[in-house]
Amino acid sequence: MNTEPIIQLIDIKKGFGPQQVLKGINLSIYEGKTTVIVGESGKGKSLIIKHILGLIKPDSGKVFVFGKDLNKMSGKELKEIRSYFGVLFQNAALFDSMTVFDNVALPLRERTRASEGDIAGMVNEKLKLMDLEGSNEKFPAQLSGGMRKRVGLARALVLNPRIVFFDEPTTGLDVAKSNEIYRVFFRTQTKLGYTAVIVSHDVPKIFKLADYVALLHDGIIQDCLPPEDFQTSDNPFIREFVEKTMGLIYESEEVEG
């Protein structure tokens, strides 16, 4: 952890009405690494990502991206920062009135001056990487959940971003499909070398991919540790989380033993 973090959240607080969801988030994300944010559902994990993306302004606290304060940026700077981001939304957020091809081509068409021929080349390359050849002309509604996520991932990666955010990439998929998403993720990350921030509760599988695991509990990041240290941490909340999510196996062993 000797390098400077590329994303830093300092004491982020955010509430909706009387409900205080984030109570002082401190988190650093390092270049080229995969950071996984785990925690119970509905406790603000996706909210953290939305803060980093600048979609939501915190009530107090600071977000630094590449060393710059996100909330003091002009619209133009924010736009530039976002051009380094790729996002896979929870429900993929595909443009449902466009075909798969147009969905993936959109960032290229709107943000670059590439010719249609080049765009087709780049889009097909990304779709191939996701094993999606042959569905170019389909509409999102005609795809299965796993395919939709892969299209979303292709769209997130098409501009070769430096940081990619995954908001629950495997939620709602069966085991085989979610393994497939992980494989695609692993393959693309080794190939493209991006920094990944994953929000997930697919424990323990997600530990295999993570360089760092952060637990969000009670509106606070309890700790951000490499997976091995995470599983043996002394923090009571992390212990509880690890036991709750992975403990069943031990328990049954106890019974069997």
Partner 1 sequence: MILLKFLEKSGELGLYYINQAGRMVIFLLHVIISTFKLPYYKVSNITKQIYIIGSLSIFVIVFTGAFTGMVLGLQGYNTLKKFGSEGLLGSAVALSLIRELGPVLAALMVTGRAGSAICAEIGIMRNSEQIDALECMAIDPHKYIMAPKFIATIVSMPLLTAIFNVVGIFGGYLVGVKLLGASEGSYFTSMYKDVEFQDVYMGFVKSLCFGLLIVWICAAKGFYVHYERTGGFGAEGVSRVTTYAVVLTSVSILVFDYFITSLLL
Nearer CB in complex with partner 1: 97/179:
97
Closest CB 164 distance from partner 1, rounded Å: 11
Closest CB 106 distance from partner 1, rounded Å: 7
Nearer CB in complex with partner 1: 83/136:
83
Closest CB 28 distance from partner 1, rounded Å: 21
Nearer CB in complex with partner 1: 17/257:
17
**65 φ, ψ to 5°?**
-120, 125
Cα distance between residue 129 and residue 1, in whole Å = 31
Give me the half-sphere count of Cα atoms (radius 13 Å) on the Cβ side of residue 20.
11
What are the residues binding partner 1 (CB under 8 A)?
Answer: 50, 53, 55, 79-80, 82-83, 85, 87, 89-91, 93-97, 106-107, 109-111, 113, 155, 159
Closest CB 37 distance from partner 1, rounded Å: 17
Pairing of strands 220-225, 60-65: unpaired
Nearer CB in complex with partner 1: 167/180:
167
C-alpha angle 237-241-242 in degrees, rounded to nearest 5 = 120
Nearer CB in complex with partner 1: 79/205:
79
Cα distance between residue 222 and residue 238, in whole Å = 7
**146 φ, ψ to 5°?**
-65, -40
Closest CB 225 distance from partner 1, rounded Å: 28
Helix (H) or strand (E) run with residue 129 in it: helix 116-129
